[in-house]
């Protein structure tokens, strides 16, 4: 099948992987998780469905890898900023995240996957472990660093503190209970941090 003029096979595979990820993310945003099929992804990506089945056992596996690849490209996964000013660091990351969640290109596939996860317990466990947990962990680590630096009181449950920041954000987005504005993010960060500081 390969001929001498063909490019490096690993680069060809990488191009197919990208095409499959882009097709999966676009399609799930358009038609939802229930109607998504491997055949549909293959047709949109311009590859044979066997190419997909060779690498992934299910549409859920394709989608989760597509999102994970997107997050790995993202600057913020390279490490949470630590300028020494916890409030400023949280606000800058959350403002950028708000802009991303307000972008329809990101919003549609991520919502489709979140909804499918809320509906399906097994998918949800994978969704949480692969996508939500790594995102949460960088916040937990940043808060632990602040706790070691004396910016956050020693008695604080850092995990619950992170949920106090991230869950109101996620809920406004998922259930559409309020707008994800920079003003909201700033108020949220200030009010959460106010309760975490050591009492003088």
Q: Which residues contact 86 (CB under 8 A, 6 or more apart)?
A: 142, 143, 146, 151, 152, 193
Q: Does 157 bind its own copies (CB under 8 A)?
A: yes
Residue 52 · residue 21 · CB < 8 Å: no
Q: Does 31 bind its own copies (CB under 8 A)?
A: no
Residue nearer to its own copies on the CB measure, 92 or 136: 136
Contact segment (CB under 8 A) with its own copies among 82-90, 99-107, 138-146, 174-182 equals 174-182
Residue 24 · residue 63 · CB < 8 Å: yes
- Choose, by CB under 8 A, the member of 22, 32, 69, 81 that binds its own copies: 32
Which whole-number Å values give the CA distances from 75 to 66, 71, 72, 170, in the listed order?
16, 8, 8, 20
- Smallest separation, CB 121 to its own copies (Å): 7
- Smallest separation, CB 25 to its own copies (Å): 17
Give CA–CA dist 158/49, Å, rounded. Answer: 45
Residue nearer to its own copies on the CB measure, 32 or 81: 32
Q: Does 130 bind its own copies (CB under 8 A)?
A: no
């Amino acid at each position: 099948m390969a001929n001498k003029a063909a490019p490096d096979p690993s680069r060809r595979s990488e191009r197919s992987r990208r095409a499959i990820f882009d097709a999966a993310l676009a399609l799930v945003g358009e038609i939802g998780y229930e109607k998504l099929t491997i055949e549909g992804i293959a047709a949109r990506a311009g590859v044979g469905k066997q190419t997909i089945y060779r690498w992934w056992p299910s549409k859920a596996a394709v989608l989760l890898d597509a999102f994970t690849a997107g997050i790995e490209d993202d600057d913020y996964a390279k490490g949470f900023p630590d300028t020494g000013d916890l409030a400023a660091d949280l606000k800058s990351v959350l403002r950028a995240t708000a802009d991303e969640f307000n972008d329809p290109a990101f919003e549609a596939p991520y919502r489709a996957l979140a909804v499918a996860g809320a509906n399906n317990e097994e998918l949800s466990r994978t969704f949480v472990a692969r996508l939500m947990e790594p995102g949460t962990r960088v916040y937990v680590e940043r808060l632990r660093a602040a706790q070691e630096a004396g910016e956050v009181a020693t008695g604080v449950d850092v995990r619950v503190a992170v949920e106090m920041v991230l869950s109101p954000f996620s809920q406004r987005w998922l259930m559409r209970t309020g707008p994800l504005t920079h003003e909201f993010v700033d108020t949220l960060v200030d009010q959460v941090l106010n309760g975490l500081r050591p009492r003088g």
